[in-house]
Chains A and B, each alone.
Chain A
């Protein structure tokens, strides 16, 4: 057993989980800030971004060290590659949370407006995707990750519906255009968070099963499909 290497992998895993917690918290706070028009929460999200960025750099640095010094292969190599990609996705989740918080800060200055879009429902769905994608990483379970992929279509539909109804609202009620535009941008931000959660789930499947399921090209096709043609 390579003890130092194993410690490095454990450290990488623990750091990514902390990073995941920060990103998940940022999205939840930003959505709640938008829903409640809560400026204090908005500031918490903006301040939290710094921690996420620092965590991203530390994780990348540790992953580079392990790649350079330990020459990982097979499941360990897949794990480290997956971690570096998940790391990048989590940092972008943090960026989307900041964008949502900025929209909330804009909204606070505007009169309240009833809009035909259910942002809290969409936020709950997206938050669940992020949480489950991280759970699939914690548990190392591809089945949990697979369930996240299936949730992405639901969020995509929510965003499409939000776009249609909000554009219609802007045409019919020009006085709430800014509020509708904010809602439309938040819907887009949430849809992007869902895309990052999907990426995380795909990376977990890559780590656990060694299968590349991205872009629906060849679902569940293992890497380097065994071939006997040259034998």
Chain B
């Protein structure tokens, strides 16, 4: 099951440049929360702070409190522990090109010393089924490489790889921006189904996508969270004029 995310006064910097200012918000368990905002508003930085990927950038740092369930992300927990609990899917599908489909999905588990082949088979199958890719690849699991799949299939493979380590939270940073409408539709359907088992935070530039997949939507501007509310509220009657101006295309 997914767990809730609680963020309290999160600030982030790249060197001396501050990218996030006092972000305080919750993302409820087993729901999808979308983060929208113009380019450079800090939405990707925000999700990268949730699994401490932000700190992998030289000179980048973050301060504040992030809780993933009972786990305190910035206090007494290792980055490895955190990333085991939080899967991430990026804008561009990034399967390991020389590995088979099977090995791509099993990579995270093998890296963690998991070598029970029978159990691995089960997890790979379950992850590929969860990512709605199983039927398309079940006959070529070990024959085809991850790179041989289409863009949409590669992205679902990356989702399967993230799910294989049984995370509680799935972060998605513009997961459909490189995909055609059919593949986008499949990923969106998948997000909808995955909410039953995981908590999802999705960054998207596509506001229709946010409205289709997320129960909650947060609007970021210049590193600040301007408004977070139920998605239908944000897209019909937002409280803040800046949110309305952005989503109606009056700026951004």
Given contacts A74-B235, A75-B244, A224-B236, contact A230 B250 (CB under 8 A): no
Give, as a whole number of angstroms, the nearest-CB distance from B215 to chain A: 8
A223-B236, A227-B230 known; A74 vs B244 contact (CB < 8 Å): yes
In the complex, A210 has a CB within 8 A of chain B: yes
Q: Name the prevailing secondary structure of the B interface residues.
A: mixed
> Which residues from A are CB-within-8-Å of B250?
1
Complex Cα distance A59/B221, Å? 36
CA A78 to CA B238, docked complex, whole Å: 12
Contacts of B216 in A (CB 8 A): 230
CA A224 to CA B26, docked complex, whole Å: 19
Q: Which residue of A lies closest to B243 (CB)?
A: A74
Is the CB–CB distance between B237 and A223 below 8 Å?
yes
Chain A 67-99 interface mask (CB, 8 Å, partner B; 1/0): 000011111111000000000000000000000
Q: Is B188 an interface residue (CB 8 A)?
A: no
A226 CB within 8 Å of chain B? yes
Sorting the interface of chain B by its residue count into under 10, 10 to 19, 20 to 34 or 35 or more gives: 20 to 34
Interface residues of B (CB under 8 A from A): 26, 28, 31, 207-208, 211, 215-216, 229-230, 232-239, 243-244, 247-251
Q: Mark A134-171, 1 if CB is under 8 A from B, else 0.
A: 00000000000000000000000000000000000000
Cα distance A222–B243 when bound, in Å? 17
Q: How far is the CA of A75 from the CA of B243 in the complex (A)?
A: 11
What is the CA–CA distance of A227 and B228 in the complex, to the nearest angstrom? 11
**Cα-based distance from A227 to B230 in the complex (angstroms):** 8
CB-CB under 8 A from B211, the residues of chain A are 73
Q: A70's closest neighbor in chain B, by CB?
A: B249
Query: Which residues of chain A are within 8 angstroms of B237 by Cβ–Cβ distance?
Result: 74, 78, 210, 222-224
Contact assessment for B26 and A231 in the assembled complex, using a CB-CB cutoff below 8 Å: yes
Q: Using Cβ atoms and an 8 Å threshold, which residues of chain B touch A2? A: 249
Chain B residues, Cβ within 8 Å of A231: 26, 28
Residue of A nearest to B231 (CB): A224
The interface residues of chain B lying within 8 Å CB-to-CB of A222 are: 237
CB distance from B67 to the nearest CB of A (A): 13
Nearest Cβ in chain A — how far from B210, in angstroms?
A: 10
B208 contact set on A, CB distance < 8 A = 71
Of residues 215 through 229 on chain A, the ones whose CB sits less than 8 Å from some CB of chain B are 222-224, 226-227
**A230 to B195 Cα, complex, angstroms:** 14
Given contacts A1-B250, A230-B31, contact A74 B26 (CB under 8 A): no
**A226 and B229 form a contact (CB under 8 A):** yes
CB-CB under 8 A from B230, the residues of chain A are 224, 226-227
Interchain Cβ contacts under 8 Å between A and B, 27 examples: A1-B250, A5-B249, A73-B207, A73-B235, A73-B236, A74-B236, A74-B238, A74-B243, A74-B244, A74-B248, A76-B248, A77-B235, A77-B236, A78-B236, A210-B236, A222-B237, A223-B236, A223-B237, A224-B229, A224-B230, A224-B232, A224-B236, A224-B237, A226-B229, A230-B28, A230-B215, A231-B26
